[in-house]
A and B are shown apart, each in its own frame.
Chain A
């Protein structure tokens, strides 16, 4: 069934290319409510290119995942991204493909009208094909959005948790906001990297600004301390609020091995002591 349907589609598209293109163009221009976002000339160029690539691909069948359809998918990918930049919604972009159905089916009816079975097969095969291609443009749009979000998240992460050098050999990592597993991992990796870069032997992880901690995050914190120790540095966790202390005990997380201090100031004093330093009040008159 599919072989005949495929070849019918290919043949009919080829022999009726001009009228199909014209009707398709008309339908598309009519569906754009806002004028001016895309010129007729540009649209005709895109439509013609799509039809050409489609014809070439159809010669080997209708499997859109096959290598024969690579160029079709690439073209649709570019189109989807360009349309997104031009301010089109993903639905509007998908209509580029879906609106090809009507003129195509009209030609199927003309050519295969007497053979009910062949007509049904061709309609179905073409529907499947164009549905998949239309949905593909939506996927590309989606992926583009996800990449933007991901990039912004990364930037936000870097901006919101800087590692600061408190003193010679002492780093501080003031964490603010809710710690989720992914964020904690990224931040911890950058802390360890900074330890290597600065040669700081002590890192104070201050969680005063963290409202809650879950098991996974608590475990990440401990893993970070362990990793720092393996490298030859040590961590002090400061700013543990009473609620978090309760949660940690409740979760059964073992903090026995890790130095903790109530405030960043206490942690700093401890860190100084460990590195053989202290803060002293100057004598009067100096």
Chain B
């Protein structure tokens, strides 16, 4: 079955959704992302939805779930590139995407993540990577 690719960009994971997802694909993405965040110890997840023309309640819940899951694994999620028509429709639907931060594009999304990560990484604080063999 086709899967949505997850790219690793340094400390972050980038997911670009370009297809009209059917439900199974969306659930698969959630599972895949959870596994990858856990594996890589990524500090942030960027979801690029600039090609997504429809976000209904199912997709909306998926995005919120991903953000919640990532937070449990100490990662921030930023959704970027939402189209105006989609934003207007979501507001009308009453869908608020709780716990999901947003940015206009990938560049700004990464800046947002970098700032957040920088704040949590003060000198002297410990920060372990799950896959790294380096001592604390």
List the interface of chain A (C-beta within 8 A of B): 188-189, 192-193, 195-196, 199, 201, 223, 226-233
Is the pair A201, B108 in contact by a Cβ cutoff of 8 Å?
yes
Contacting residues, chain A, for B91 (C-beta < 8 A): 223, 226-227, 230
A/B interface sample: 14 pairs, CB < 8 A: A189-B84, A189-B88, A192-B88, A201-B108, A223-B92, A227-B91, A230-B90, A230-B102, A231-B84, A231-B87, A232-B79, A232-B82, A232-B102, A232-B105
Task: Give bound CA distance, A231 to B91, whole Å.
Answer: 11
* Min CB–CB distance A255 → chain B (angstroms): 16
In the bound complex, CA of A227 to CA of B102 (Å): 11
Chain A interface mostly: helix
A195 to B97, CA, bound (A): 20
Size of chain B's interface in residues, with CB distance under 8 A?
A: 17
CA distance A227 to B84 in the complex (A): 7
B102, closest chain A residue (CB): A232
Q: Is the CB of B88 within 8 A of A232?
A: no
B residues near A, CB below 8 A? Answer: 79-80, 82-84, 87-88, 90-92, 97, 102-105, 108-109
B84 contacts across to A, CB distance below 8 A: 189, 192-193, 195-196, 227, 231
Give the CA-CA distance A229 to B102 in the complex, in Å.
7
The residue on B at minimum CB distance from A192 is B84
Q: Give B90's nearest chain A residue, CB to CB.
A: A230
Q: How close is A233's CB to chain B, nearest CB, in angstroms?
A: 6
Determine the chain A residues whose CB is within 8 A of the CB of B79 once the complex forms.
232
In the complex, are the beta carbons of B105 and A227 less than 8 A apart?
Answer: no
Answer whether A231 and B108 are a contact pair too, CB < 8 Å, given A189-B84, A189-B88, A223-B88.
no
- Residue in B83, B88, B92 whose Cβ sees the most chain A Cβ within 10 Å: B88
User: What B residues does A195 contact at CB under 8 A?
Assistant: 84, 104
Contact (A196, B104) CB under 8 Å given A230-B82, A231-B82, A232-B80: yes
